[in-house]
Each structure stands twice: as structure tokens, then as C-alpha cells.
A and B are shown apart, each in its own frame.
Chain A
Amino acid sequence: MKIVIIKYNAGNIRSVDNALKRLGVEASITSDFEEISSADKVIFPGVGEAANTMNYLKENKLNELIVCLKQPVLGICLGLQLMCKHSEEGDTTCLGIFDELVKQFDPSLVTERIKVPHMGWNQISNLKSGIFDSSMEDEFVYFVHSYYASMGAHTIATTNYLLPFSAGLHRDNFYATQFHPEKSGSIGSRILENFLKI
């Protein structure tokens, strides 16, 4: 099985590669069109700022490539946000794979004291789709983000922070998690394994 991690100007791509190595799986980190198109599985990770990253993807035509992929694709963190329709971060038009919109956490919406970024371990619930299994309901996974994808038709996992948001999205061959499976202990490893089995 050929696994590709899309290489672009986002941080911490290496940690996904390390997580795959711990599963005994070798991946190639590349921005080569041919290699990405011919892979069995594609991972689109990322930590960074939406507008800059989207610009980079467009300059390198990676945006056109990603939306046309037919094999299973897993977006992680910023990857999930860029797969949505629009992000409030830099008022950015994103890839539009999911209709959901990306908004900024607004602490002024609630009276309790709430910190942004949403950082640390939080629970995932109402799990659907193949990358999760029923034993993961209400388990804790690791998040770091200041923007979130709204709830919608493609939501396959829900997390509550200030309000319920999409911790996971799925449409056709596209999967995405807002949290970092590569940093989420044994639960995260199982989610990655489930993705590799699709």
C-alpha cells in the first residue's frame, strides 16, 4: 500500500509520518502530482494560517489536485478547515469539499471564562463512519485550534467547546479530523489504522 503525506508550507507534517512509523507503515512526504495521484491513501495534515496556506496551495495548483482525488483522503486540523467551504481566518475561500463553514471561537458568546485556542484533550461523540468505531464514543483526543468547522450534514464526530462543532467530517472518499490523531495516544493510532483499512 502506497501512502502519501502532502507536503506544503504547513508545520508539523513530520509528526504524522512518525505516527505512521509507529504503526509500522512507511509514507512518502511529497508535493509531486504523479505520486499523490497514484497513492492508495493520501493524508493532508497541517498546522498554520488558512489564507497563507490556501494561497500556497493555489500557487502550486495543489487545490485542483486535492479536490479531484478519488482514493481515501484524510485531512487533519488545518487540513479539515481547508477542506471546508470558507474560513473566517483571513476571510478565505477554501476547497469546498465539505459545505461546512469555519468560524472563530468567540469567548464573548458565553458568560463562563473560556480560553482560546481550544487546547488539550476533549471528547468526541455521536461518532459515525469508518474511521471511528463504537468503542471510541466519548473518548478524549488532542486538539489545538482557534477556528472550528460548524455542525452540518457531513459531521461524523462532535466535540463541545463553547458550542458543539465538527470534530470529524466525511463525504465520499474524503475524511477529516479537527483533532490530531497523530498526537492522541492509542485512540489516535486506532483512528489512523482505521483510515488505512478503508
Chain B
Amino acid sequence: MLAKRIIPCLDIRDGQTVKGVNFENIQNVGDPVELGSLYAEQGADELVFLDITASHEKRKTFISLVKRIALHINIPFTVGGGVSELADADSLLAAGADKLSINSAAVRNPDLISQIALNFGRQFVVVAIDAKFDNDKWIVYLNGGRIATDKDLFSWAKEAENRGAGEILFTSMNHDGVKTGFANEALAVLSESLNIPVIASGGAGRMEHFVDVFTQGKADAALAASIFHFKEIAIPDLKSYLRQNNIAVR
């Protein structure tokens, strides 16, 4: 039985793991390799490392961090943040990343999805989408939620799939950091309309939220950050809770 995946997400700024609420009020929560190894030992199924510095001069710091992660961590990991061209993908793959997450750059240049998929395989391309529900519509946002686009979540996700995305990582900006559960209605529509896996992000607060995201939200994987970083939910407890609720987990 294919297991539902639990994915801790580590936002990285200047080589350190940080966490904010609703993309604001950022706090430092520790060394990425140490934290990532701990999560892997505890039963995390994958890890995501997002470079939120993404300024050009700090790029090398992140690449050397990716090399350290690849050497020390024995589960798959995705990296993202600041990827804008094929050469960025190439250097992150060479550093040992298993998957690459692209967000704003994919909206600005959708052909980048196809280029990365063609060169490195679609399993390497995770298209991350930040969207906000407003006036009965899910609108796609760029630059960490700062710039609204005219794109609709569902049609953009479908286009990304058609262009070669291997997975969609959908973050609901309405739910992110609020800890009242995931955007299950939108997730279910998304998951039913796509043939590639959907990773749910934004809203995890309690263990039952994960049951809901896999049953109601039909997600293939669920991503969370602060509840793991601040030790509000331990991964082994979450896995056994999901098992008790008949969700297939590793």
C-alpha cells in the first residue's frame, strides 16, 4: 500500500531554519541538517528545504548546505527558493537534491517547468503554488505571497501538470500559520483534477487535521513546519494516530 507522506518543511535564511506566521514575524529555530536528520530518524517521509534568503550573493551558502543535507540525510528531499533558470536546477541537482520546487519563476516563465522536466525528469519538478481564497476565487500569488496574479489555482495547477510537473505543492495563504486545518475543499478538487500527487500545505495545528487532509482533502502528502519545529506534534505520535485512523502510513 502506497503510504501517505508526512513532510516537515524547513525555511532557510542565511543557513538557519526559520519560521514565521502568515509569511511574517520570522523566528530562528535551528540548524537545518541537525533538524532534518532528527525528523528523518523520527519517521518523516521526505523533507523540504526552502531558501527564503534567495539573494544572489547567498546562493552559494545554500548550495553548500544542500551538499551537506545530501550527505547526511537518508530520505528524499526537495529544495526550493530563488530558482529562476535551468542552470539553478542543474547546480541543485549536482549538489544532491532529489527534487526541485519552483514557484514564482514557473508563473513568470512556464516554459521553465518543461525545460527542467525534459532535462532532469518530471520526478525532479515540484511546482509550488501559493494561493489565497478571495471573492469566491483561489488566486495564485507570487514572491512568498506578496504579489497577486490573474491566475486561478486550478487552471494553473493543470497547466503545470501538462508542462511536466511531477507534483503540486499547494499552500493556502488563508490557512498558513493559522493552525485550524488544511484547505480541504480546494485540495480535494485539485487532487481529483490532477494525475500527479498533491502535497497539502498550510493550516496544520492538530493531529486530526492530518486525518482530514488525507480523507476529505484527498491529498497524497501533507507538509507542515511550525508544529514540528516547536514540538507541538511529534512525528512518531502523528504516524500512530494516523494508523489508528486507518490512514496508510510508513
| Chain A residues close to B by CB (< 8 Å) | 11-12, 14-15, 18-19, 21-22, 47-49, 107, 113, 115-123, 140, 142, 144, 160-161, 180, 182-186, 188-189
What's the count of A-B pairs with C-beta under 8 Å? Answer: 83
For chain B, residues 53 to 85, give those with C-beta under 8 angstroms from any C-beta of chain A: 70-72, 74-76
Q: How large is the interface on B (under 10, 10 to 19, 20 to 34, 35 or more residues)?
A: 20 to 34
Whether B196 and A115, one on each chain, are in contact in the complex, defined by CB atoms closer than 8 angstroms, is yes
Contact residues in A for B194 (Cβ distance below 8 Å): 115
B186-236 at interface with A (beta carbon < 8 Å): 192, 194-197, 220-221
Residue of B74, B93, B94, B166 near A119 (CB, 8 A) is B166
User: CB distance B74 to A19 under 8 Å?
Assistant: yes
Q: B74–A144 contact, CB under 8 A?
A: no
Say yes or no: A22-B71 contact (C-beta < 8 A), given A116-B195, A121-B3, A123-B1. yes
Q: How far is the CA of A115 from the CA of B220 in the complex (A)?
A: 9
Compute how far the CA of A113 lies from the CA of B124 in the bound complex, rounded to whole angstroms: 23
Contacts A12-B98, A115-B196; is A185 near B75 (CB within 8 Å)? yes
- Assess whether A183 is in contact with B74, with CB atoms less than 8 Å apart: yes
Most chain A Cβ neighbours within 10 Å, of B1, B2, B72, B98 = B2
- Measured in the bound complex, the distance between the Cα atoms of B96 and A183 in whole Å is 12
CB pair B74–A22 under 8 Å, yes or no, is yes
A-B pairs with beta carbons under 8 Å apart, 24 shown: A12-B98, A14-B70, A14-B96, A15-B70, A21-B71, A47-B121, A47-B123, A48-B121, A49-B121, A107-B195, A115-B194, A115-B196, A115-B197, A118-B2, A119-B197, A119-B220, A121-B250, A122-B1, A122-B2, A123-B1, A140-B3, A140-B250, A144-B123, A183-B75
